[in-house]
Homo-oligomer: A and B are copies of this chain.
Amino acid sequence: MILNQHPSGRHFLQIPGPSPVPDRILRAISLPTIDHRGPEFGVLGLKLLAGLQQVFQTRHPVIIYPASGTGAWEAALVNTLSAGDAVLMFETGHFASLWQKLALRLGLQPEFIGDSGLDASGIPLSWRRGVQADQIEARLRADSAHRIKAVCVVHNETSTGVTSDIAAVRRAIDAAGHPALLMVDTISGLARADYRHDDWGVDVTVSGSQKGLMLPPGISFNAVSPKALEAAKTATLPRAFWAWDEILAMNQTGYWPYTPSTNLLYGLAEALDMLLTQGLPQVFARHQRWAEGVRCAVRAWGLQIQCADAAVYSPVLTGVVLPAGIDADRVRKTIHERFDLSLGTGLGRVRGRMFRIGHLGDCNDLTLLAALAGCEMGLQLSGVPLAGSGVQAAMAHFASHPAAATIPV
């Protein structure tokens, strides 16, 4: 029985996704599965699609896939591009790299830019700052033949804790007078960090369920602009499961061309109800406050926050760089075994150098303090010299910065 795997007490899931799922949502996804062709389903479907538009801040369609987030990346590319198309991608971290790798596999020609240098800690400079819009603008200006068909960037880099300025990317593209589509991955940013599909002129936004939406993994999204829909008409990469056209046609009445992920959609209905009842601005503010509390802790420990630019700190996770010579994964293992706390590992080019603390999903001040306590004890047990108590610093922050009054959700 799978249930037996869980040790005494509640596990602290402080990875940057999947995030802790609220009880309300867990109960909702356990309701009996209904007929995805029946009349109740259409009502549900229309409600979900309308609610998602509010969360993506768009008047344009949002597609829901019964597939995890990686599939939504693939969907964005295969619906809009053709074999051999050049795409400009910016190396913000591991997930940007994975998206580039996926583009390669699909037969596209990704061009991957960023800062190639390393900082004093041996960490790629690109992995500590967000997208540099000026580099994008320069590259697009140089592409006078308009070979580049899309600019693909990650909004909230889950591997680093950096949230790029997407509006600036849009301005860069416009300044260059370039027709490339703008595609943005906000898998871990949506619904916790302010994200504006329409205002920022994004053509395809990619997201998933298991982060800010507080759902288990399993469904993912494409928000699509009219320009992206237009591009889909001539794009020739083969596509069937991911094809927008059939889904959009069926979505008119709240249905899908193939079987949707019914029970996760129940959870989505709950999540939308919770989010929209409270209000997105309130949710965003809540995570900004928590993020600053966590950063207070990291500073007090005398450790480095991976994000080197305060303007682009992520509200949903914080990367903690460990001193050279310390294996961050051994620290994580100690913390997991001793304190039943899961932290995010260092991915790709920062493997072993850092760990990540998630502060998204369903949490509160005490949950985060518990997580910081687990980190602090684990760092000490691992022999990492600390300048002071991060827990104390975070407590001081939370105590002196009360949360705005909120409608309970």
**Which A residues fall within an 8 A CB radius of B?**
1-13, 15, 17-24, 26-40, 43-44, 65-71, 73-74, 78, 83, 101-102, 105-107, 208, 210, 216-219, 237-241, 243, 257-264, 266, 269-270, 273, 278, 286, 336, 338-342, 345, 362-367, 369-371, 373-374, 376-377, 380-381, 389, 391-392, 395, 398-399, 402, 406, 408-409
- Given A270-B2, A391-B392, also A69-B258 (CB < 8 A): yes
Contact indicator A395/B391 (Cβ below 8 Å): yes
In whole angstroms, what is the CA distance A381 to B365 when docked?
15
Contact (A259, B18) CB under 8 Å given A31-B26, A34-B11, A67-B66: yes
| Cα distance A78–B242 in the bound complex, in angstroms | 13
CB within 8 Å for A74 and B241 given contacts A217-B66, A362-B9, A402-B338:
yes
B217 & A68 in contact (Cβ 8 Å cutoff): no
A266 shortest CB reach to chain B, Å: 5
Known: A13-B34, A31-B27. A238 touches B238 (CB 8 A): yes
B29, A29: Cβ atoms under 8 Å?
Answer: yes
Contact of A9 among B208, B210, B257, B364 (CB under 8 A): B364
CB-defined A-B contacts under 8 Å, sample of 6 = A5-B44, A6-B32, A9-B363, A9-B367, A11-B34, A36-B217
Known pairs A339-B365, A364-B340, A366-B339; A30 contacts B29 (CB<8 A): yes
Total copies of this chain within the assembly: 4
Tell which of A34, A74, A83, A217 has the most Cβ of chain B within 10 Å. A217
In the bound complex, how far is the Cα of B176 from the Cα of A327, in angstroms?
A: 60
Known: A74-B241, A364-B340, A377-B398. A30 touches B27 (CB 8 A): yes
Residues of B within 8 A of A370 (CB): 366-367, 369-370, 373
Taking CB atoms, residues of chain B closer than 8 Å to A66 are 67-68, 71, 217-218
- Complexed CA–CA distance, A406 and B107 (Å): 51
A12 to B8, CA, bound (A): 16
Q: A8-B408, A68-B66, A269-B2 are in contact. Are A262 and B216 (CB under 8 A)?
A: yes
Which residue, of A39, A241, A395, has the highest number of chain B Cβ atoms within 10 A?
A: A241
Docked Cα-Cα span, A208 to B259, in Å, equals 10
Contact B264 A8 (CB under 8 A): no
CB of A8, distance to nearest CB on chain B (Å): 6
List the 8 closest A-B pairs by CB distance, nearest first: A9-B364, A30-B30, A370-B370, A218-B261, A67-B67, A366-B370, A70-B258, A7-B408
A169 to B406, CA, bound (A): 53
